[in-house]
Structure 1
Amino acid sequence: MPNIDLILGADHGRRRSVRTEPTQRRSTQRLDALLDAAAEIVDELGFERLTTQMVAERAGASIGTVYRYFPDRVAVLHALRERSVRRYRERLAEAMEAAELAEWWDVVALALDVCAALYRDEPGFSVIHAAPREASEHDGEPELAHRVARLIEDEFGIADKQEVRFRLGVSLELGGALIHRAFERDAEGDPRYLEEAGRVVRAYLDEHLADAVSESSAA
């Protein structure tokens, strides 16, 4: 069974965007209700038009409640994105726990499949494409690329080197952009773009990770 903790890791995202971190269940539910409202607005109108007043009205809360947690609309969007990223990692970990990972590509393919699935059933998920990616403090590569690289090393022995993380980061960015485009064109995801996302990413990684895969096989 894959070590899914390598995908989950510690999550401190909410503390960066939320003004008051909830400590009680009721407060947590109130915060989630605000983010649920923001997600609905993003899906209906786009993130550019979201306002704190809209969030308050949609959630049935006072504007003061919104400002208790968020200083402005930008903080709302950041918190919604952080929640979406956290839920993505959780869903990816569940998928990996249930899957048979026969080769390194299975890890990347699942990452793409789960991304597409969340575009379908996680309200507001498109906001993940509208802000800078989380970068690792180690080398500036995307945090998700680090997590995937560590899992691939753990499962298949492909060394978690900077070059591997760079190539994974590029490939996940390419795949994510095509998946985002698929759902811009069709609410269920344009199948041509979804298929192309997998094909383009596989071709890119086959070319650029060939040496790393050969080294692990030889070892």
Structure 2
Amino acid sequence: MDAILDAAAELVAVEGLAAVSMHSLARRARSSIGSLYHFFADREAVLNALRERHLLVMRQITQQLAQTPDALWQQYTAEAVILHLLSPYIAYIRAHADFLVLVNGRVPREDGADFVRTILHVLQLRLPALSSERAADYAAMLHAMAAGAMHVGFEIEPARAEVYMREIPRAMAAYLSQIEASLQADDAGIQEDGK
């Protein structure tokens, strides 16, 4: 079954979704058409299985990030936080050229929510005085920056996906830095007023 999914990934990456048919998959996988139908009812079943394989890895990355020690999240710079959050995802996307074609716009809501929860945890560690509501707003915005920019980049300029993967962390780090700086300034103003 993995050979079939690997063949589908190659076809999508090299020739696009339109090139994927049960016959082209059988040729690419060096398998009989009957073997293909033994595992998958049709082309959509193959693509759904391949999509799910990618999403499973994304979930595993999110789970691994959740295991990051709290002290690391607290000691990282804003840039390091964002790189630690995004680098595993970006590395996976770069290694799997079919990923964006298959998954773009199709990430289950709960997967996005898991990533937002990770960001929220990081924000609460780094900015303990931040209200839960504001932390949730900032976490949602950080997620939207990553997911939205990749979606727009893929839909409008797929040939520039590498530029988006390079620049999204920079934009997110600037946003996080600005949040942290403004909260530090607010804290300094409160302390000044309290004297």
Tell me the TM-score normalized by structure 1.
Answer: 0.59
Give the deviation of 1:89 after TM superposition.
Answer: 3.9
From the superposition, tell whether residues 199 and 123 of structure 1 become closer, same or farther in structure 2 (CA, over 3 Å).
closer
Give the deviation of 1:167 after TM superposition.
Answer: 1.8
The 5 A counterparts of 1:1-219 are 31-91=1-61, 93=64, 97=68, 100-101=72-73, 102-103=75-76, 105=78, 106-122=80-96, 124-136=98-110, 142-149=112-119, 151-152=121-122, 155-156=125-126, 157=128, 159=132, 162-177=136-151, 180=154, 184-185=158-159, 189-190=162-163, 193-205=164-176
Matched residue count = 177
Give the deviation of 1:37 after TM superposition.
Answer: 0.9
- Aligned partner of 1:11 in structure 2 is none
- The answer to whether the 8 A contact 2:146-2:168 is kept is no
Q: Which AA in structure 2 matches 1:132?
A: R
Q: Which AA in structure 1 matches 2:172?
A: V
- The answer to whether the 8 A contact 1:85-1:128 is kept is no
From the superposition, tell whether residues 112 and 180 of structure 1 become closer, same or farther in structure 2 (CA, over 3 Å).
farther
- 3-state SS of paired residue (1:142): helix
From the superposition, tell whether residues 66 and 202 of structure 1 become closer, same or farther in structure 2 (CA, over 3 Å).
same
Q: How well do the aligned residues superpose, as a CA RMSD in angstroms? A: 4.1
Give the deviation of 1:115 after TM superposition.
Answer: 2.6
Q: Which AA in structure 1 matches 2:104?
A: A
From the superposition, tell whether residues 108 and 71 of structure 1 become closer, same or farther in structure 2 (CA, over 3 Å).
farther
Q: Percent identity?
A: 26
- 3-state SS of paired residue (1:61): coil
CA distance in 2 between counterparts of 1:152 and 1:204 reads 14
Q: Which AA in structure 1 matches 2:42?
A: D
- Structure with max Cα Rg: 2
Q: Deviations over 1:102-143 (max 9, x none)?
A: 34844433333223212332353233543422102xxxx823
Tell me the TM-score normalized by structure 2.
Answer: 0.65
Give the deviation of 1:40 after TM superposition.
Answer: 0.8
Normalized per residue, which structure has more helix?
Answer: 2
Moved more, 146-155 or 44-53: 146-155
* Unaligned runs of at least 5 residues, structure 2: 191-195
From the superposition, tell whether residues 131 and 171 of structure 1 become closer, same or farther in structure 2 (CA, over 3 Å).
closer
Q: Deviations over 1:60-84 (max 9, x none)?
A: 2222332333332222222212212
From the superposition, tell whether residues 149 and 97 of structure 1 become closer, same or farther in structure 2 (CA, over 3 Å).
closer
- The answer to whether the 8 A contact 2:8-2:20 is kept is yes
CA distance in 2 between counterparts of 1:76 and 1:133 reads 17
CA distance in 2 between counterparts of 1:115 and 1:210 reads 24
